[in-house]
Amino acid sequence: MIDVTLESVSKRFSRAGDTAAVDDVDITIAAGEFFTLLGPSGCGKTTTLRMVAGFYFPTSGRIRFGDQDVTRRPPNKRDTGMVFQNYALFPHMSVAQNVAYGLKIRKVGRAESKRRVEEALSQVHLAGYGERRIDQLSGGQQQRVALARALVIRPRTLLLDEPLSNLDAKLREETRVEIRRIQREAGTTSLYVTHDQAEAMAMSDRIAVMESGRVRQIGAPQEIYHRPATSFVARFIGRSNVLSLPVLGAGPETVTVRLPDSSQVGVAAPADHGLATGGTALVSIRPEHIGLTSATEPGVVTGRVTELEFTGMSTNLLVDVAGEAVQVAAVDPPAGIAVGDQLGLRLPRERMWLVRP
């Protein structure tokens, strides 16, 4: 069942002719789904979320909740719960008063309100914290209060705008697991905003990758990781090499390219690749999928190590291949490998994927 629909939604903030902050966005979110808007700062994530919340109205396009058109409906008539980046808690009120706020506005009675506040606080593992003041809580606890405040009204849709960005790295990872647990238990359709690709991958059922106000790709994390639509998506999600290679032949699902060692290889490509013989293909391959070898055989290109860093999990190399810098992540590199060494890189064709510019 489709819960939230954005149909050709655009937002311009001022004079006609300005570039759109959100440009012709189409998204459908299924009931109970955890859906994430991911992209760099300024790409239009918050603006999109605020249009779903009703804080902004689109310049054009439609927003639907189920079969109801909510495009111009005010925020308090939308049945959404929002968690803001800075939490937006009332510092002079107790935890319980903060959480009860939405219920008070909705004129829920005292006894019912008390019960639901307790329930929401135990949902976020803050049972017994009701009488504390906000400034007596850690950042992570404040974040949970903000989540409880959004959940207590039992919203049809939960909207979260970079809710973890004020937490340190370790707590951020713990809290993202927590948010996902709470969301799953409550079954609430959720629209989540982050610029952190690891967070998006770990949490989401599906992700929309945004760039310059536009959605570049929508898909499950695995799909976006392994079959990125554009070179931007390939580079923004994880790390990726995007090689420009001459096209020797182009079929509907495979494009044959020439590797720097002059060998030919057929690369899987989306049906709408639009390439022809004589053109240049952009082929992405992940650093962890490139093998190091001393063998010389077709599909092995040679290069010179220009940078090397040990991260614990892998050794990251930058290898100069005919003037192009290729990233390699080797779990088990040859002993004694050093900057300046000549190396063979095996580029497995099954790990290559053709992307659009």
Count of residues in the chain? 357
**266 in Cβ contact with 256 (< 8 Å):** yes
In the Cβ-directed half-sphere of 245, how many Cα atoms lie within 13 Å? 29
Closest CB to ligand ADP among 232 and 353? 232
Instruction: Using the structure block, give the residue that is written with the tokens 């605020």.
Output: 50
Residue 262, binding choice from ligand ADP, Mg ion, none, Cβ under 5 to 8 Å by partner class: none
Q: What does the per-residue mask of binding to Mg ion show for 21-60, with x meaning CB under 5 A? A: -------------------------x--------------
Closest CB to ligand ADP among 18 and 297? 18
Stretch that binds ligand ADP, among 38-46, 184-192, 217-225, 286-294 (CB under 6 A): 38-46
Total residues at interface with ligand ADP (CB under 6 A): 10
Report, in Å, the least distance between residue 218 CB and ligand ADP: 16
Residue 44, binding choice from ligand ADP, Mg ion, none, Cβ under 5 to 8 Å by partner class: ligand ADP
Q: Are strands 189-194 and 157-161 parallel, antiparallel or unpaired?
A: parallel
Assess 57 for contact with ligand ADP (CB under 6 A): no
Assess 183 for contact with Mg ion (CB under 5 A): no
Give CA–CA dist 137/348, Å, rounded: 51
Query: Which of positions 123-182 make contact with Mg ion (CB under 5 A)?
Result: none
Residue 247, binding choice from Mg ion, ligand ADP, none, Cβ under 5 to 8 Å by partner class: none
- Which amino acid is present at 194? T
Closest CB to ligand ADP among 44 and 155? 44
Report, in Å, the least distance between residue 162 CB and ligand ADP: 8
Stretch that binds ligand ADP, among 45-53, 83-91, 273-281, 336-344 (CB under 6 A): 45-53
Neighbours of 272 (CB within 10 A): 8
Closest CB to Mg ion among 151 and 193? 193
Tokens found for residue 46: 């918050």
Our CA angle for 217, 220, 221, nearest 5°, is: 95
Q: How far apart are the first and last CA of the chain?
A: 34
**210 in Cβ contact with 45 (< 8 Å):** yes
Give CA–CA dist 107/127, Å, rounded: 23
Among 3, 33, 45, 245, binds ligand ADP (CB under 6 A): 45
**192 in Cβ contact with 206 (< 8 Å):** no
Give CA–CA dist 57/63, Å, rounded: 10
Would you tell me which residues interact with ligand ADP (CB under 6 A)? 13, 21, 39, 41-47
Q: Give the binding site for Mg ion (CB under 5 A).
A: 46
